[in-house]
Amino acid sequence: MVMLRPSYEVNLGSATVERGGTGDLVSVRVSTDMDGRAGLCRVVLYADNPDLEFAVGDTFDVSLGYVDDTTKVFTGTIDSVVKEFAHIRVLALNSVAKLQRFRTDKYFENQTCGAIVSDLAGSANVSVGGVEDGVQLPFYAVDSAKNAHEHIVGLAGRCGHETYADAEDSLVFGPYEADAPKQFEYGKTVVSAARVDRDAIFGSVHVYGESPSSSKGADAVHWLTKTPVDATSGDGGALTIDDGAVRDADTASSVGSSLLALVTRNTFLELRVVGDATVFLNDTVQLSGMTDESMNGDYQVRGVEHAFAKTKGFITTLTLSGGSEE
């Protein structure tokens, strides 16, 4: 029987806390998802180490795993530090928080959603990882009534894309593509699982755009005609969307299809496994051997939480969507 020995490395500014080092830690919890929240990491350190010098605004990253085999799971910036008699509590946030705090007013013409996202990220001083073009919009106005992240999430919905900050704290904007799945098997690596099935409220999406005043479609300049630009995707009860950035039928159809995939997503799984730092957002995992066979199948990873504590060991909790029926 192989004995797993959890290991870690936490870099806070110029300070490093690692297994076997002088600045040992009490616990670390990393939480990231693709559902609109900023990724965060909470670390509790012993307060009796004089070499721990760091401050709010310093760079921060965490690697977790096992002895001789750790993987970076989080990169961000220290957001708060609380000093107590025995402990120091540190909260770090990733670049999604920067986007949530950034507001601007800009106007884009004939740009893809990906180009708009890259521009917003650059303005917010956020590095960009994989950004794919998605739908091209004739016009799009970024207004300060919404923060930059709200605009980016809205653009992702139009394209059927996912958006999140990866483990290196670079913004990702692109579709989910099932890859070679990470395997988890009941009785070996699975600690617990809970499946949630929800009835879809809507079966179709009807997108209304804004109509051009000529037959030139997206290239038209004036928008005065009463002829509607709209498209319906799916069947059943309709979710109606009014989107002024949509100005031709093809774009309306593409946006409708993307939004339909979101509103009909209805199978989720919360999976707790023996700590695994190699699973990331938007990965594919495969669950097998479950006594409830409906839980077996391939899933998209939508949320990852790593928790390590000396008294509880290393556990990873995954929020998944998909499954054998999809």
Per-residue model confidence as pLDDT tens digits over 254-308: 776 767 667 667 778 999 999 999 999 999 999 999 988 889 999 999 999 999 9
Under CATH, what is the fold of the domain 98-174? Answer: Phage tail protein beta-alpha-beta fold (3.55.50)
Higher pLDDT, 135 or 198: 135
Residue 23 has pLDDT above 80, yes or no: no
- Average predicted confidence (pLDDT) for the chain: 86
Least confident interval from 150-159, 205-214, 262-271: 205-214
Residue 218 has pLDDT above 60, yes or no: no
Pairing mode, strands 15-18 and 284-288: unpaired
Which residues on neighbouring strands pair with residue 204, listed in sequence order? 234, 238
If residue 140 lies in a helix (H) or strand (E), which one and from where to where?
strand 136-142
**Of 174, 190, 171, residue with least CA distance to 182:** 190
Highest-pLDDT range among 228-232, 243-247, 274-278: 274-278
pLDDT of residue 264: 65
* Contacts (Cβ under 8 Å, ≥6 apart) of 192: 271, 272
pLDDT of residue 203: 75
What is 182-198+266-322's CATH number? 2.40.30.150
Residue 213 has pLDDT above 70, yes or no: no
Higher pLDDT, 224 or 274: 274
Tokens representing 261?
């995939």
Confidence of residue 98 (pLDDT cuts 50, 70, 90): very high
Confidence of residue 22 (pLDDT cuts 50, 70, 90): low
Domain ranges of the chain: 6-94, 98-174, 182-198+266-322, 204-263
* Contacts (Cβ under 8 Å, ≥6 apart) of 236: 202, 203, 204
pTM of the prediction?
Answer: 0.86
Determine the average pLDDT of the residues in 188-215. 74
The alpha-carbon radius of gyration of the chain (Å, integer) is 23
Q: Are 210 and 229 in contact (CB under 8 A)?
A: yes
pLDDT of residue 74: 98
pLDDT of residue 68: 81
Q: 171-189, pLDDT tens digit by residue? A: 999 999 888 899 999 989 9
Confidence of residue 48 (pLDDT cuts 50, 70, 90): confident
Residue 198 has pLDDT above 70, yes or no: yes
pLDDT of residue 270: 94
Higher pLDDT, 258 or 90: 90
Q: How far apart are CA 323 and CA 319, in angstroms?
A: 12
- DSSP conformational letter for 186: B
What is 6-94's CATH number? 2.30.300.10
